[in-house]
């Protein structure tokens, strides 16, 4: 028994309606967040990161700055350990008196996190990365902690704070297992995460 | 069906067998390429099952109506068959997987689809085609967050569109909506087949091969762009990441690959029929399994499980040992299915719902 409604004219019309409806839905649901990623927003910045990464917020008790994050100090860390590949991207923010330069701020921070059980080594020459036109003063580093060796990049970004003479400083870092990636790969991963990082409007 | 048996025997006895693609947002790194592919090839089963359920529903409905049955009787028959499948899922299939009572997997999902189809089928065929395509292409945007997050609300959301493996009153890994779209496409194919002279059916091999190849090319395009049509991101350019698509819930990439593959299989089957190869003993044995699919499904689960509900596996098998168990099970199932097929032919009314 043939179905007389199943003819080229009705089929074309049906497919046209489906295509138009789907295009409309696609338009209505367009998003600037790529598939598989999600957005974190707080403490004056936003970060688009892979959904499967584990994100945690904390203070900086390791350097004596409190165990809970606040507007003044904190750490947001995204981490994945998958297929023997470690990926960590972290953002640390501090409110402090304006430093003389981003470079000195970065050196001071690296010295502060160097402790007997967490040794920062092999800091390279400083270099500049400019995602979204933002200047990020960066350096490669190596870290030994609890018998594990890591390598990565850390950069610093300045933002003026509402009170005169104060600044909010963002340290952004990418860390992976030492030997699992070349310097170029580390820089490419860092830049990929940095592309998803943006500081919200100046305060 | 033999691939499905492979999937299940591996799930019961091989610890290195994958699963829950989509619920896990990235592939299990512990699985090597062979382990991954041994699960991946089984993706063809469920879409083919559901599509052909729609096709056979269309053919049997047209035959019943042509034989003088009323629309009401046909609706009641489909409704009854759907409810029996749901009951089978809850009472016989779920214990085989050690899953809770109201769990919904492929049999229960087909059952719920039949319940919907008992009325959905009354729409004109182009409307069923349009609705099915709209479901498949747009269901990822369906927002059910307005349903209260009570246990029943969570279960209803899962049943409609959002798989659930924890945090609800039961598990649902086959939500009805996407699979309803597949059954709708199968229905339309069945209506088209019913309008063909029997000798012209094998002439569909070229269009089927074309649609199959086009679907697989579209799969590559969708995975390449890594956006619309994917519920699981392609995390790298490795072959396995290209192939790691979401089955729970099924995304467009999954359906393009599996339904495209099904079209190629159907085209190949038509070549077999044209050349008389279906009389080959192995092909004939596989065909016997396909003539009693529900019996095969229920029987194979308990045969391969080979232990009481709630009992963990006493030991595990590696891949070659699992393959041997699979082949031995298929021989036993072929013998059982052959017997059941004879009984079914002798008592068509008694076993009409099974």
Chain B contact for A51, CB < 8 A?
yes
Q: Given an 8 Å threshold on Cβ–Cβ distance, is B195 in contact with A6?
A: yes
Query: Tell me, what's the pLDDT at A63?
Result: 65
Q: Given an 8 Å threshold on Cβ–Cβ distance, is B25 in contact with A52?
A: yes
Q: Are residues A24 and A88 located together in one domain of the fold?
A: no
Q: Are residues A112 and A182 located together in one domain of the fold?
A: yes
Q: Are residues A48 and A85 located together in one domain of the fold?
A: yes
Q: Are residues A3 and A68 located together in one domain of the fold?
A: no
Q: Count the Cβ atoms, other than its own, within 10 Å of residue A118.
A: 12
DSSP string, B121-144: TTS-HHHHHHHHHHHHHHGGG---
Query: Tell me, what's the pLDDT at B147?
Result: 92
Q: Given an 8 Å threshold on Cβ–Cβ distance, is A22 in contact with B188?
A: no
Chain B contact for A32, CB < 8 A?
no
C-alpha to C-alpha distance for B170 and B166, rounded to whole angstroms:
8
pLDDT value at B93 more than 70: yes
What are the φ/ψ torsions at residue B92 (nearest 5 degrees)?
-120, -40
Tell me, letter by letter, the H, E, C secondary structure of A147-185: CEEEEEEEEEEEEECCCCCEEEEEEEEEEEECCCCCHHH
Tokens standing for residue B214: 């086009």
| Segment B310-327, tens digit of pLDDT | 888 999 999 999 999 999
Contacting residues of B for A9, CB less than 8 Å apart: none
Tokens standing for residue B84: 């029996």
Query: Tell me, what's the pLDDT at A82?
Result: 67
Nearest residue, CB atoms, B134 vs list A21, A26, A29 = A21
Q: Are residues A96 and A46 located together in one domain of the fold?
A: yes
| Segment A89-124, tens digit of pLDDT | 999 998 877 666 777 888 888 877 777 777 887 788
For the ranges A157-161, A163-167, B264-268, B289-293, the lowest mean pLDDT is seen at A163-167
DSSP secondary structure code for residue B294 in this structure? H
DSSP string, B233-261: ---SSSHHHHH---BTTB-HHHHHHHHHH
Q: Are residues A152 and A131 located together in one domain of the fold?
A: yes
What's the whole-number mean pLDDT along residues A122-145? 85
Nearest CA to A183 out of A137, A156, A151 is that of A151
Mean of the per-residue pLDDT values of chain B: 93
Do residues B209 and B271 lie in contact, with contact meaning Cβ atoms separated by under 8 Å? no
Nearest residue, CB atoms, A35 vs list B62, B191, B227 = B227
Q: Are residues A11 and A76 located together in one domain of the fold?
A: no
CATH assignment at residue A174: 3.40.1000.10
| Segment A19-37, tens digit of pLDDT | 999 999 999 988 778 777 8
Q: pTM score, two decimals?
A: 0.82
Tokens standing for residue B199: 């000798």
Give residues with Cβ within 8 angstroms of B118, minimum separation 6.
B75, B76, B78, B79, B82
Chain B contact for A6, CB < 8 A?
yes
C-alpha to C-alpha distance for B8 and B98, rounded to whole angstroms:
13
Mean of the per-residue pLDDT values of chain A: 84
| Segment B10-59, tens digit of pLDDT | 999 998 888 889 888 788 878 889 999 999 999 999 999 999 999 999 99
In angstroms, the first-to-last Cα distance of chain B is: 17
Per the structure, the count of domains in chain A is 2
Tokens standing for residue B274: 């044209």
| Segment B165-194, tens digit of pLDDT | 877 889 999 999 999 999 999 999 999 999
Q: Are residues A52 and A147 located together in one domain of the fold?
A: yes
Q: Are residues A87 and A154 located together in one domain of the fold?
A: yes
Contacting residues of B for A180, CB less than 8 Å apart: none
Give the pLDDT band of residue B259 (cuts 50, 70, 90). very high
Q: Are residues A14 and A110 located together in one domain of the fold?
A: no
User: What are the residue boundaries of the structural domains of chain B, listed by start?
Assistant: 1-24+281-354, 49-195
Q: Given an 8 Å threshold on Cβ–Cβ distance, is B195 in contact with A1?
A: yes
CA distance A3 to chain B (A): 7
Q: Which domain range does residue A115 map to?
A: 37-199
Q: Are residues A3 and A43 located together in one domain of the fold?
A: no
């Amino acid at each position: 028994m043939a179905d007389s409604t199943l003819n080229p004219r009705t089929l074309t019309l049906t497919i046209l309606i489906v295509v138009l409806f789907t295009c409309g839905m696609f338009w209505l649901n367009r998003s600037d967040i790529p598939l598989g990623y999600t957005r974190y927003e707080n403490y004056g910045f936003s970060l688009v990161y892979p959904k499967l990464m584990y994100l945690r917020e904390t203070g900086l008790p390791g350097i004596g700055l409190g165990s809970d994050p606040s507007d003044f100090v904190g750490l947001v860390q995204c981490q994945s350990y998958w297929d023997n590949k470690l990926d960590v991207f972290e953002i640390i923010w501090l409110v402090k008196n304006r430093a003389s330069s981003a470079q000195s701020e970065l050196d001071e921070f690296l010295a502060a996190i160097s402790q007997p059980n967490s040794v920062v080594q092999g800091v390279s020459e400083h270099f500049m990365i400019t995602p979204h036109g933002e200047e990020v003063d960066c350096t490669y580093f190596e870290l030994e902690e609890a018998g594990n060796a890591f390598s990565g990049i850390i950069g610093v970004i300045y933002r003026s704070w509402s009170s005169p003479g104060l600044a909010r400083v963002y340290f952004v870092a990418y860390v992976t297992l030492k030997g699992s990636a070349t310097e170029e790969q580390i820089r490419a991963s860092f830049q990929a995460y940095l592309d998803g990082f943006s500081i919200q409007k100046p305060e | 069906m033999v691939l499905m048996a492979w999937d299940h025997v591996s799930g019961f006895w091989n610890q290195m067998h994958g699963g829950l693609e989509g619920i896990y947002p990235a592939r299990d790194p512990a699985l090597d390429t062979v382990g991954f592919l041994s699960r991946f090839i089984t993706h063809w089963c469920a879409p083919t099952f559901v599509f052909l359920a729609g096709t056979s529903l269309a053919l049997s409905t047209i035959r019943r109506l042509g034989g003088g049955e009323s629309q009401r009787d046909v609706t009641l028959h489909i409704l009854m068959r759907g409810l029996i499948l749901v009951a089978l899922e809850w009472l016989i299939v779920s214990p085989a997987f050690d899953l809770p009572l109201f769990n919904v997997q492929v049999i229960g999902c087909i059952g719920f689809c039949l319940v919907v189809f008992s009325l959905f089928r009354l729409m004109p065929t182009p409307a069923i085609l349009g609705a099915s395509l709209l479901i498949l292409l747009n269901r990822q945007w369906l927002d059910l967050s307005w349903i209260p997050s009570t246990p029943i609300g969570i279960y209803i959301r899962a049943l409609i569109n959002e798989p659930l493996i924890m945090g609800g009153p039961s598990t649902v890994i086959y939500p009805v909506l996407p699979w309803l779209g597949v059954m709708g496409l199968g229905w339309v194919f069945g209506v088209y087949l019913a309008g063909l002279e029997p000798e012209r059916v094998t002439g569909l091999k070229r269009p089927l091969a074309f649609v199959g190849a086009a679907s697989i090319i579209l799969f590559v395009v969708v995975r390449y762009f890594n956006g619309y049509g994917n519920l699981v991101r392609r995390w790298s350019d490795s072959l396995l990441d290209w192939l790691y698509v979401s089955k729970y819930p099924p995304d467009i990439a999954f359906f393009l690959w599996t339904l495209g593959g099904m079209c190629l299989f159907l085209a190949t089957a038509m070549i077999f029929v044209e050349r008389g190869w279906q009389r080959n003993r192995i092909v004939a044995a596989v065909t016997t399994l396909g003539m009693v699919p529900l019996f095969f499904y229920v029987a194979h689960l308990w045969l391969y499980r080979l232990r009481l509900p709630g009992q963990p596996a006493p030991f595990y098998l590696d891949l070659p040992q699992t393959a041997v168990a699979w082949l031995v099970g298929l021989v036993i199932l072929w013998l059982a299915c052959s017997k059941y097929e004879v009984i079914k032919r002798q008592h068509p009314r008694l076993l009409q719902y099974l």
